[in-house]
Structure 1
Amino acid sequence: MRKVLLLSLVLASPLAIAGPQCTTAERSQWQDPQAFQDQLKAQGYQINKFKVTDGNCYEIYGFDKDQRKVEIYHDPVTGKAVKTEIKG
């Protein structure tokens, strides 16, 4: 019984921490990743880590213009923030 419970928890865990789904658009419609990051930097963001998520988002980890630690998921087509977490 414990093995079944443990297995179900392990299999369900990725779903619990999965990020948002940002777009279903073809990658040819996405903004250039470097140009997108340059735009954010021009707005005062410091990007420590940038990645493309399984939910087709541009995800950044870093600091906003107020030096608050942030994790932000962006729609790579529009650039709009889909989910923002301010860490401190």
Structure 2
Amino acid sequence: MKIRHLVLAATTLSLGTAAFAGPQCTDTPKTGWLTEEAMKQKIAADGYTIEKFKVTAGNCYEIYGKNKNGQKAEVYFHPVDGSVVKAKQG
């Protein structure tokens, strides 16, 4: 009975991880990326406020914050050119 619960828990965890996986942005070495400071300035110029900023496992810059309309936003940016790769807003 315990093994069955462990297998179920492991399966649930692996499915949960896959469901929240972010995009893969680039294979470019970090020396070719916009600096974090330059990226934060670009994000602010695009009208976002940043509550959390990070580099993802998929080599993207990701923010949690608000868009120019004050709506919650989770946005992935390409670290080389600063373009939006994926966004969830509202």
Please indicate the TM-score interval, normalised by the length of the shorter structure: 0.7 to 0.9
Asked if 1:39 is matched to 2:30, the reply is no
| Residue matched to 1:18 | 21
Which moved further from structure 2: 56-65 or 36-45?
A: 36-45
The Cα RMSD (Å) is 1.3
Asked if 1:71 is matched to 2:71, the reply is no
Gaps of 5+ in 1: none
Q: Report the CA distance between 1:14 and its aligned residue.
A: 1.6
Which moved further from structure 2: 15-24 or 3-12?
A: 3-12
Q: TM-score, normalised by structure 2?
A: 0.86
The one-letter amino acid paired with 2:13 is V
Of 41, 47, 54, the residue aligned with 2:57 is: 54
Q: Percent identity?
A: 44
Q: Report the CA distance between 1:39 and its aligned residue.
A: 1.6
Q: Hey, what's the Cα distance between the residues in 2 that align with 1:58 and 1:42?
A: 16
The one-letter amino acid paired with 1:57 is C
**What is the number of residues matched between the two proteins?**
87
| Residue matched to 1:83 | 86
Q: Report the CA distance between 1:42 and its aligned residue.
A: 2.1
Gaps of 5+ in 2: none
The one-letter amino acid paired with 1:67 is G
SS in 2 for 1:61: strand
